[in-house]
Structure 1
Amino acid sequence: MGKTQTTSIPILAPAASDTGSVRSKLIIMAVSTTFVALLSASIGMLLYDMRTFKQYWVDDLRTQAEIIASVTAPALAFNDSQTARQNLAVLKVRPQILSGAIYTAGGARFAGYTHSSRTPEYPARPGQPGYIIEGDQLEVWHSILQNGELLGTVYLRARFALGERMLDYAVILGGVLMASMVIAALVASRLQKGITTPLQAVTDVAREVVQRRDFSVRVPGHQGGEIGVLVAAFNDMLAEIGRRSHALQEANLTLEHEMQVRHRAEQALLLADRRKDEFLATLAHELRNPLAPIRTGLDILRIRSGDAQATQRATDIMERQLRQMVRLVDDLLDVTRINTGKFAIKMGRVELKAVVNDALEVVRSYIELHGHELVIDLPDRPVFLNGDATRLAQILSNLLNNAAKYTNRGGRVSLTARVEDQTLVVSVADNGIGIAPEMLDHVFEMFVQVDSTLERTNAGLGVGLSLARKLVELHGGTIEARSGGVGRGSEFIVRLPIVVEPEMPAKNTPATFITSESYRILLADDNVDFVNSIGALLSAMGHSVVITHNGPDALTAAARFCPDYAFLDIGLPKMSGYDLARGIRKLPCGSITLLVAVTGWGQEKDRQLAFEAGFDHHMVKPVRFEQIEEILSNRTLIKKVRG
């Protein structure tokens, strides 16, 4: 085949007289759609206004007639026409009411009133109770009753300027309609260029190919999007026809197959993109709270790197928040939860002060930023809840954040807790903008804003309180809002069931064990690096430590060593940790040994198996040394009551 020269056809603008062009059709379609929509809305609004205007005047004039009838009944009963005229004279404050009259039960006019100085016109006889609209005037008749007896009739006539109101309304709607049509035409005229210009270029090239049978011409330009795909496909099609015109049918089949593949790929991309958005939305919401204190901790490490106390405090904060993030990442791996958008809570035994500390870590910087005074009042004794520590902290942080947000700078935010029977009552109060009485029943609804009238720069999306209520209900509790009104602060009260357990019995421990700060500790784990490092730390603290790496050696050491504490792995070689615990309990000194299971199995059934085997505590790997220190330092931690 000979080499052909590729040429480009310049883009020709459509002729102004071409009324059948895509450009004209797009503009006409946009303007016509806008006109029909606006015209329908205008007619509906006009008819609705006519109806409401009429009903308003009828109800207003009926009410006025009813009032006059009520105050004029005694005057009719005592034939006091002077008082009746005085009652009608009150109508002068209503210039729309042209005239009024009072008729006796016999039909005679008893008193009259007219707004203007001209000779008044009254009906000769009273009509039936009701109203009549004649032209631009509205007449109302109302009976005067006393103790069920008809004393007379009240007549009122008022201006009913429905035509003027409809004319004004129609002029306004007409102006809006015309302005909207002009704007729609301008916008459509501008937007259509992105579609018609590439299409016109394709049309010109197609015309050139048909007239000259020259398949070397191409559509110039490199547009993006679907129009760009169309231009590229058109050029490719011309090249294919030029090279293999005899195989046109085969090329069409190939193109059709490619379009189907592309369509399936687009559908797959759309599905993946939607799932990505759902995942990112969940991730952003769930990780926002723990990320804030972690970032603050990094700032502390950067700014106060030489301050050992500040560095330790920042490290502790970041470590606690990292644990929360690990827990949240585990939740996000639950495909069902991500697809359904439902919260999955993991129930466990948590202590109130730990939950409050986690919540304060999230919101303290925000409260301090607003200069608020933060007051915390918690029970002296530990209070345990059966719930999800992360979600419980999220409830309190949402409420504290909400209190700080709607309190003017330098306000007061308090968190108090008390125990009533077997219920924990937590109150989060502030002296902020307060809540209107009619809003108290709606503040927990999704997207409801407490402060919808004031211009507040910190207003959120209105989901915090709704989320807090759902989390409280998932924990078997309730939440309510209280406020003295606008400007008088607000209070949110959360009630949650507490865990009530019997007092733990004291261990029969020798006196030397009670007074000494050095303990005999047995460590049994087949992870040599882990157990040796823990043993070195405990030995450095002055404790007597024996390290073993399998079950039989650990049992032999326990019989000889009589440990005060034994930290045992469950998956030990030759003998499981469960069997080892049972064996230690059978030893003469086994009753005074506090057994701690250290394992990577953390399900509730694993904890139950450990307690049934004789363990006093259950720790899930990775274990921090602070957890071991806490068990050693708490002298009142005794064996959990079994059975």
Structure 2
Amino acid sequence: MIPMHSLRQKLVAVVMATTLTALLVSVGALIGYDLRQYHRALLGDMSTQAELLGHMTSAALTFDDARLAGENLALLRLRPLVRAGAIYDARGKLFASYVAPGEPSEFPAAPMGDSVQVAGNKLYQFRRIVENGELLGTVYLRAEYAMMSRTIDYALMALLITTVAMLLAFLLTRRLGGIVTAPIFAIAGVAREVVSTRDYSRRAPRTSDDEAAELVDSFNAMLTEIEQRTGELENSNRAIAREAQERASAQQEVMRLNEQLEVRVHERTLQLETANAELEVAMDEARKANHAKSAFLSAMSHELRTPLNAILGFAQILTSEALPSTLAQKKEFAGHILKSGRHLLTLINEILDLAKVEAGAMNLSLEPVALGEVLGECRAMIEPIATGRGIRMLFPEDCKAVVAADRTRLKQVLLNLLSNAVKYNRAGGAVILDVSVAAPGRARLSVQDTGHGLSSAQLDALFQPFNRLGQENSGEEGTGIGLVLTRRLVDLMGGTIGVSSRVGVGSVFWIELPLTEPHAITIEGGTAGELARSRLGNGGGHTLLYVEDNPANLKLVEEIVRFRPELRLLSAHDGHMGIEMARAHLPDLILMDLNLPCISGTDALKTLRSDPRTSHIPVIALTANAMPRDVERGLASGFFRYLTKPINIDEFTEAINSTLARIDARRTAQTEVQI
């Protein structure tokens, strides 16, 4: 007897539900399609019939021959669907009519134009008779519209088909379901017999080669193991019966082993429970992180538009002939573009920085940093944004403090705190930045706002990655990782960060950094600018080959090298051309982009290294692949140096100078050896 809700019943239910759904969708689609075709065919037929009658009766209307018009209408008896028809003259007066047997002889007033109407089971059509641009009259037709009866017939047919199909599906499923359920029922039957008879020699039959067969094999293997252990136990008992002392010792040993087994089972159970709990927590954290990252990706597009707005706006002014500007204005606009571009790069690097910090790959350069200079730069970047929002910015007028920090990261931390204070402030509010000595040898920088403040729950989640504290729909831009990165950067610089807030009053974010003494940097032989110019003028003439497919990037390097007359720059727009030019011109140094058409920069480097003519030429990677693993992979593949985009001109110049200097030194040494 099959129990209620058995596997076979569930299988039948699934098949029946699937079959019913497929039938309903198929039959419904066919009925809908046929009814639509019927409606369109009837309208087309009636329109054709009305137009034909119009042409046939135009002469009768012209010569006022009602008899001829009546004869034409009488032809409608050949069309059983048409139950009545009439011809109206140009003034709308009934001219001739036709009524099928059993139909009422009522005719409506002639309308002003063509029309088709459906009312109940009747279709009414009016069509004007026009000859040579002159209105002669109107044709009226009344026909049977059997949409409802047709729908009922189809519904009955669909019900019959569905009933028969469901019955067949039920019978087939009941008949064939045993193929799926038989192996499982066999296992269940054998299990019941083993439990009732304790006969572990029974085996379940293997009737298929699917997952059920694997279950049968596992079940039989379990019975084999139990049978073996049972036999061993019986042998042991017989031996114990023969020797009483050995039996007592064996019993004690069994008890000891059982106790150890129970302890191990208990320990394993606790381990599994702990692992399950940890897995559940990890899955919950993964779901939260995935949701936060989705919101983060949406917010990033808005965050990047702020610096892009300044870049594109000032660039359009500089390139527009309709908005002339002075040289001073051009310099000012270029300065804004440069600052916004760097800020945009900072936003992009913020994501990379967090990854570096998490991976322990963030390297900071701790040095004495004058707070006055950093605060001035931060003020210049934040104050225009605050002014546009009507928020006052209050900075210390004369700050002489010097802290031990990484200048770039400290500026990044302060800009993030100031930006948050402006974005989440009240209209007409204020942001106060204060510098004080919190403890001996420690400087405290605090950023106070007059915003809405944070609740205790928000403070607890403040430094969680990708958490914007419910500000996703506030209209304010942000990534949700700024404060996380800020805290970790402060930790790496040997500082501390904290926050205090009151709802309705505002918040105060503060960081503490160690104080230090400033030091002066001198360059022997002149100023830094003079030394840079002297470095640009050195050299006895070298050839550089730049392999780059982006015209803008190529133009930028051309402009940088243009100030160095001792350098000759060649260019190639793909890897194949770069290899050929390297073989033809044998340049002193090659600059290589990695993402090139046809062949990548890495593959081009392998080709150059395999050719004896070009294997000695140093190749510097110049690419936008800036992740730490990309840099490591590039250097491991054989690049002499690895530079990332956007180009840092100082770093770019230093890389070229140092590489060319090594080339000159090697050539000088070879010359001395030859002499």
| TM-score of the pair, normalised by structure 2 | 0.34
Larger radius of gyration: 2
| TM-score of the pair, normalised by structure 1 | 0.36
**Higher helix residue share:** 2
